[in-house]
Amino acid sequence: MNGKPAPAIACPLPLPDQGHITLAHGGGGTRMHDLLERVFLKRFRNELGDGQTDAATIAVGEGRLAFTTDSFVVDPPFFPGGDIGSLAVHGTVNDLAMAGAEPRYLSAAFILEEGFELARLEQVADSMQAAALAAGVQIVTGDTKVIERQRGGGIYINTAGIGVVRPGVALGPGAIQSGDRVIINGDLGRHGMAIMTMRAGFDVDTPIESDSAALWPEVKALLDAGIAVHCLRDLTRGGLASALNELSASSGRAIHIAEDRVPVLPAVRGVCEILGFDPLHVANEGRFAAIVAPEDAARAVAILSALHPDAPAADIGAVTDAAERRVTLESVIGVTRVLDMLSGEQLPRIC
Amino acid sequence: MKYMDEYRDRDAILRLAEAIRRTVTRPHAIMEICGGQTHAIVRFGLDQLLPDEVTLVHGPGCPVCVTPVEMIDKAIALAAMPDVILCTFGDMMRVPGSEHDLLGIKARGGDVRFVYSPLDAVKVAEENPGRQVVFFGIGFETTAPANALAVKTAAARQLRNFSMLVSLVLVPPAMEAILSAERCAVNGFLGPGHVCTIMGSEEYEPIARKYRVPIVISGFEPLDLLLGIHMCVKQLEAGRCDVENQYARSVARAGNAAARALLQEVFEISPQQWRGLGPIPASGMRLSEAYRDFDAEGRFELAGVVARESEECISGEILQGLKKPCDCPAFGTRCTPDRPLGAPMVSSEGACSAYHRYRPALAPAQTGECA
């Protein structure tokens, strides 16, 4: 301590702005949102892209096109329930579906590290094609770059997608109204914890499989049934908590959910408890929140549950007209607390 | 889920809260020692179920929070060395040192890896024979045995490239420091369940007698905590000061003999600086003579590391239970998880982090009060 006696009360100075990207900037929480605002939206914001929806929709003739892009850097690239290839298709297809658009065409750009096994690349490509066929999209253009060994993580994929929005469909935070119900299409946390258990080498009695899936069939079923869907949001990085906070902020409305209505598989809950994670903050790749008119909520749950009875949908709460425009949660023991967006990325706790 | 849902049963919890309400006749301040208990209390809102007479205050039981800033600076200095791989737990990555955190050093090219066990760091050393691997070993008696095992394993495998930056601390001396302080505000304790699983409950008996304070060793689920509070309140009302064990499904009076023997072999008791609490005699562990070769502080030149301190953060008072996070003027404004003034705001077990995550509306700037 520089030769001076240590003070009885010790605390550090605030950290100066470090001026470098850290892993916390990629976690889907407040750091990432700050980065998007400070660097990208400050420069790129326009009437079509304001960062508040998963895909931009563009008027073309009498209809609307939806356009989106996403990059996939998952480690490990192969995991229970999927791989980086199927994920790259599902992620972009789902961003289109969240805009109410039927996915049509994808691009696929690969950044490969020198030394990556060709057989594994073929496995990824097979997986992409299977996922594309199942989602009803075609991969119509692409690009490949190779970087030197040890400069990357083996394989990265970027996909962009184009979809078509049917007339009369206009989903977005602006359409959210007080009283709307919050529906989720299944149990939460599987994808994040499947990846985490792989990385940590956990030997779990019940292996956790990713929920990675294309969501358009579910969205289409809701729209076809005439459900008054006001907004959709997939629950990827940052999980349900981040998605609902984004929707609350961009719609200017409060959201209240009940913790015991949120389905989480026992194995997912168990690993989350061990690592100190909250399932509501964990990433999903086949789950979304639908904000629907209250009179349609029960029907929406029934429609979604019928599509995959093994992971039934749930009505977990409502949009409210509370003055505090935030997301609150009634805990399992009946006490209300704030459900905040995660800061940085989730890191396993010590004990 | 087995062993979890039964401890989160709403009706049982409400019945127990009512039993506490019926038992209490005067004010009591009860400190939970462990940061995991703090988070469970705030996450489930247990404090909101208690009568006004029972105040829960939060103790120094977050291993990340009490790690001295100079140790974090030393870890950062090691991580910046080109031939060093620094391994640590994820919790440590974002804790601020004087100028940087480990995540920032990693972003600038330092080889920092987070692991789930100290033994993972030994594996990293085996896989990287040409580089020095340092494990930043922090924590309480709970994590210390795994640290000891890592050192012992590295010694058995004759790994010359593994060492440990040790900052291990002991709970009982910290409790004594809190109880000896002039402004002690604690009437009873919830003892740390995980720590006692290793060390047993018996070493708390002299403290209970000497300071005439009840100590109830408690678990981490809502029912565990409320039952521990009820047991503590009953003792306080009756004027008793015993060590009682609510967490008997995990804690034995003598603890885990194998883990204690391992600790005794690899470590020895030492004076220790605590972040927020200052120096406490005989409150830390350092490598014993037989394993001193594995001490990173002996292996690397770290004497030039100088820690800088600030006067704004009140984490010292928070860690002693004298203040609550929302008593801090900087809470939620100048101090947030993104820009922490102190470790309690960034650590997943820190009291400030718990309040910020679950009670952000309590920021004084917004409400003017600390509930």
Q: Which ipTM did the prediction report?
A: 0.74
pLDDT confidence of residue A10: 29
Interface test with B, best of A1, A2, A4, A13 (most B CBs within 10 A): A13
- Whether the Cβ atoms of residue B138 and residue B92 lie closer than 8 Å to each other: yes
Instruction: Round to whole Å and give the CA distance between B96 and B315.
Output: 13
How many Cα atoms occupy the beta-carbon half-sphere of A175 within 13 Å? 18
Q: What is the pLDDT of residue A88?
A: 96
Inter-chain contacts counted by CB atoms under 8 A, chains A and B: 183
The amino acid sitting at B306 is V
CB contacts under 8 A, B 314-343 vs A, are 314-317, 334-343
What six digits make up the tokens of A293? 């008119």
Residue pair A147/A113 in contact by the 8 Å Cβ criterion: yes
Residue A178 touches partner B, C-beta closer than 8 Å: no
Cα four-point dihedral sign B74, B80, B86, B91: positive
**Looking at the partner chain, which of B108, B273, B276 has a beta carbon nearest the beta carbon of A11?**
B276
A148 CB neighbour count, 10 Å cutoff:
9
CA A185/CA A311 separation, integer angstroms: 8
CB-CB: which of A12, A31, A347 is closest to B97? Answer: A12
Among A273, A283, A285, A278, smallest CA distance to A204 is for A273
Summary mean pLDDT of chain B: 89
Residue B135 near residue B165 (C-beta atoms within 8 A):
yes
> How confident is the model at residue A293, as a pLDDT?
98
Of B277, B307, B339, which has the smallest distance from its Cβ to A1's Cβ? Answer: B307
Ordered mean pLDDT values, 10 residues apiece, chain B (371 residues): 76 95 96 90 90 92 86 94 93 81 88 92 96 95 95 96 97 93 90 94 96 96 95 97 95 95 97 88 96 96 74 81 86 82 77 82 44 41
CB hemisphere CA count around B192 (13 angstroms): 27
Decide if B139 and A351 are in contact by the 8 Å CB cutoff. Answer: yes
Distance between CA atoms of B213 and B220, rounded to whole angstroms?
Answer: 21
CA diameter of chain B: 66
What residues of B are in contact with residue A26 (Cβ under 8 Å)? Answer: none
Cα–Cα distance, B371 to B352 (Å, whole number): 14
**pLDDT given at position B370:** 45
Which residues are registered as beta bridge partners of B363?
Answer: none
Residues of chain A found within 8 Å of residue B8, distances taken between Cβ atoms: 332-333
Given this model, what pLDDT does residue B311 score? 67
Of A10, A266, A351, the CB nearest to B68: A10
**B309: which DSSP letter?**
B
Contact criterion met (CB below 8 Å) for B140 and B168: yes
A12 in B contact zone (CB under 8 Å): yes
Q: Does B138 touch chain A (CB under 8 A)?
A: yes
Six-digit token string for B24: 């209490």
pLDDT value, residue B332: 86
- Cβ–Cβ under 8 Å, residues B198 and B227: no
Whether chain B has a CB inside 8 Å of the CB on A31: the answer is yes
B13, B277, B310 ranked by CB distance to A333: nearest = B13
Task: Tell me whether A206 touches chain B (CB under 8 Å).
Answer: no
Cβ atoms of residues B370 and B327 within 8 Å = yes
User: From CA B43, how far away is CA B56, in angstroms rounded?
Assistant: 14
* Placement of tokens 């000497």 in the chain: B210
Query: Which of B139, B140, B203 is CA-nearest to residue B176?
Result: B203
Segment holding B124, helix H or strand E: helix B118-127
pLDDT confidence of residue A65: 94
Please state the separation of Cα A143 from the chain's center in Å: 25
Low-confidence ranges of chain A (pLDDT < 70): 1-18, 27-28, 51-52, 151-153, 343-351
Q: Do A349 and B349 touch (CB under 8 A)?
A: yes
